[in-house]
Structure 1
């Protein structure tokens, strides 16, 4: 029995650490997922939407810290009860998503692994059973050493997770699992395969008042996209720096476009106020948020291949 408890302990701890880590490197993605859950069409808890990012950060860091705590045997009863409470919340959300077909991707493993709703629910049922088993046999979970070492390891995991979160929010995800990652070909990502699944890149349209310019832009050799998913929520101190880098890029032969989902009147006011030297095209906001976790952010394309991405705060590191 002791051996079985240790095996289950390792499986559960490792899964929570992995699940937390793949979301920790991109907490904004988890924020968007919680906003989707809180929306009117799902749980109808719209008053919680402004708190989606803090909630996501707390939950993701908790997954990692509790996973580490389980592995090192720190405060076993508290850790197992906390894990049980967390998995019951996940179990409800994944059941709700699957039964009512509300959220087709729960985001349990971020963008690293995509599971269908009923697959996710099944995974959470299994985890619930394993954690209930650990709760029943919690007396067999002992610290790796009867010293302060387990507590120090748990504390270190908390500090490290918090630092990674801060860094990623200030810059960009340290690991990009999305179809717009550096080195990815957007045209390749738009192709349908024989499996019948929707391609990873869809709804990618860069429209002016008349046409979708995406096909010709994806053929250009040197393109800079200034992505401003929502000008209403943009960091406006960025635009003087955006103007400088856009002017420099144009001098070096780049075709520069702004891309936004905002209304045209806001776009024109922003262009005039900051004297932005580029045309602003329309694209779906969800697509823009998927392309880059910055508002505004810079993406460099070469014949449809993503060769560079930067948060506006890192414009000085951009190599043209």
Structure 2
């Protein structure tokens, strides 16, 4: 009888967890969920950022759909992040993440290298990132997503039940799209813009006493009259070396100015309100001591039939209020006087019409039309076109004690 014995390798009932895969899943998944949610909080703002990219990529025909494309992108991010953490459809999610991060990395590099946008919009207005910062962030994400992609076969659901996983997926999808659709209709949950409720507009347009100013460096181009040698030096070097005392050197052309340190930046620096004749009425409007309804519409030609119905309701409500209360109501737009005149003929507007640049108008109310209630320059309340209350509600809440 043979004495030969065989030793079979020991097998554990449970394989040890893949720590690198788990760290990558949690990091990427939670970051995608956060990024999607922060942008879904303000899809119209993200849509404005997409329009900048559309312009750079010569895709301007997509501008009218930018907000809904923004909703879809935000939802896609949330869905991928949530499913990754839950371990549902691991292989498909890994492919989706890889394709998405490759596209985003290319886009942020293009934006940074060619300086086509000033902020990427990755985390909305909550956490502004420069294109280079966003590119670096995408490179880090790419590393973790490559780990997930390589190990995609090892992604297992946290819950064994297929029914439960399908139900969770359904709720994630509904919630992801629902958040964006809700905020389009009823304004962002959290307003990160300078015109948010409670802010005083005049104060945000002022530079506080003692605030740091921008610091510039001036660069001189110099030429030696004897040798024709040319060189450049900063104003500090010019003074330290007392170049002006050497008659052989002369300054040629105008000095270049370079910003080396940013000073205090006012939150609202581009708001100018004017009438049809171009008279500046900014201070008159924002410092009005009475209740001031400011109806905003960046472009009145973009108002849909549903928007026009909403604007007519807003107009009629304010008309009814103006008979009993000392209020002022204006329409603030970047449209032409002819377009506003046509709108006035349609709706018989009670609103005074004033004009402002599209950039601050986009920041005031994320709705077209939108409404702000101001008093002494302070934003008391903001409403979307769908949420503007009735005359009775406005009286009870705001005008009763006037």
TM range (shorter): over 0.9
Q: How many residues align?
A: 318
Q: Please list every run of 5 or more consecutive structure 2 residues that lacks an aligned counterpart in the other structure.
A: 1-16, 213-261
Residue from 312, 334, 341 that aligns with 1:268: 341
Q: Measure how far apart 1:197 and its partner are.
A: 5.8
Matches within 5 A, 1:1-320: 2-39=18-55, 42-148=56-162, 149-192=164-207, 194=212, 196=263, 198-208=265-275, 209-221=277-289, 222-234=291-303, 235-250=307-322, 251-316=324-389, 319=394, 320=398
Matches of 1:45 and 1:75, distance apart in 2: 33
Structure 2 residue matching 1:315: 3-state secondary structure: coil
Larger radius of gyration: 2
Deviation string, structure 1 residues 64-99 (Cα, Å, up to 9, x no partner): 000000100011111111011111111111111111
Report the Cα distance in structure 2 between the residues aligned to 1:188 and 1:17, rounded to whole angstroms.
Answer: 35
Separation of aligned partners in 1, 2:274 and 2:311: 22
Q: Judge conservation of contact 2:71–2:181 (CA < 8 Å) in 1.
A: no
Quote how far apart the aligned CAs of 1:177 are: 1.7
Alpha-carbon RMSD across the aligned residues, in angstroms, is: 1.9
When normalised by structure 1's length, the TM-score is 0.93
Partner secondary structure for residue 380 of structure 2: strand
Aligned-pair CA distance for 1:135: 1.4
The answer to whether the Cα contact below 8 Å between 1:219 and 1:303 also exists between their aligned partners in 2 is yes
Q: Which has the higher contact order (CA 8 A, sep 6+)?
A: 1
CA distance in 2, matches of 1:275, 1:52: 31
Q: Residue 310 of structure 2 contacts residue 386 of structure 2 at CA under 8 Å; is this kept in 1?
A: yes
Structure 1 residues not aligned, in runs of 5+: none
Once residues 110 and 205 of structure 2 are traced to their aligned partners in structure 1, the CA distance between those partners, rounded to angstroms, is 30
Describe the SS at the equivalent of 1:314: coil
Contact 2:72 2:177 in 1 (8 A): no
Name the one with the larger strand percent: 2
Secondary structure of 2:387's aligned partner: helix
